[in-house]
Amino acid sequence: MADDYLVRIGRLIRDARQHRGWTQSQLAEALNTSQSAVNRIERGNQNISLEMIARIGEALDSEIVSLGYAGPMHLRVVGGRRLSGAIDVKTSKNACVALLCASLLNKGRTVLRRVARIEEVYRLLEVLNSIGVRTRWINDGTDLEIVPPAELDMEAIDAEAAVRTRSIIMFLGPLLHRMERFRLPYAGGCDLGTRTIEPHMIALRRFGLDVAATEGHYHAVVDRTVRPDRPIVLTERGDTVTENALLAAARHDGVTVIRNASSNYMVQDLCFFLEALGVRVEGIGTTTLTVHGMPVI
């Protein structure tokens, strides 16, 4: 169930939008997002940052939430006391999107616990649903069940949702094991600048994947005769580059060594997920990963 404060904020946004006479589609266009995302925000079914609240307020010319205090403020802090207790921490968005992409490796049912209900996740779910993957929220909406079809329908991919997320680039690793050729819309979501797909391709070419970027799509072709017979040295110690290499190595029938890998928490979470699928990963938390892949998961 959505937190009460999200519901209250959603109602404030809905009222401000209606006061201005805008539809959800008009607000979505002003925010450069989707109408479904605005609908989720207004229903309190999506986490929302202070930055997004400020953007919505600016678009609607309405102060949704007032932050700060105009007058002088004096604080006296008395420290030197031992603290104790426990809190529930939020789950990681970055780890979650990697696991959503990794679910394409599994031919069976995947259940992810405590999934962050944020726009990036919803966009990826829209893409997965469009190519035939069945997803549903379970256990009061805290967990996510994912069931892939026998064959993915890449021709039916929701291009509008795909171009709104840069995470779509992490489909390359899993898809190269499922299809001989496929295409993906350009990865979007933010201005990537010099962060092109080349660091990804340096790793994925070692698994036989060749990609040409033309006409708004990545056109991918897989050569099954190419195998990573020596260690892969990543040219960029990035999280998504490391994750893509891991996703490709997971179903490679053999041992893959990945050097200059990111050791960040989201990469470690992906490694733990792969181990839950039966893939053995050595060196978790270090910059050298050794993956003992499985051709069928």
Residue 104 CB contacts under 8 Å (≥ 6 apart), including other chains = 128, 133, 148, 152, 171, 174, 175, 178
Handedness of CA 260, 263, 266, 269 (dihedral sign): positive
The one-letter code for the residue type at 224 is R
Residue 190 a catalytic site member: yes
Q: Which of 47, 127, 92, 46 is nearest to 270 (CA)?
A: 92
Q: Could you give the residue numbers annotated as active site?
A: 190
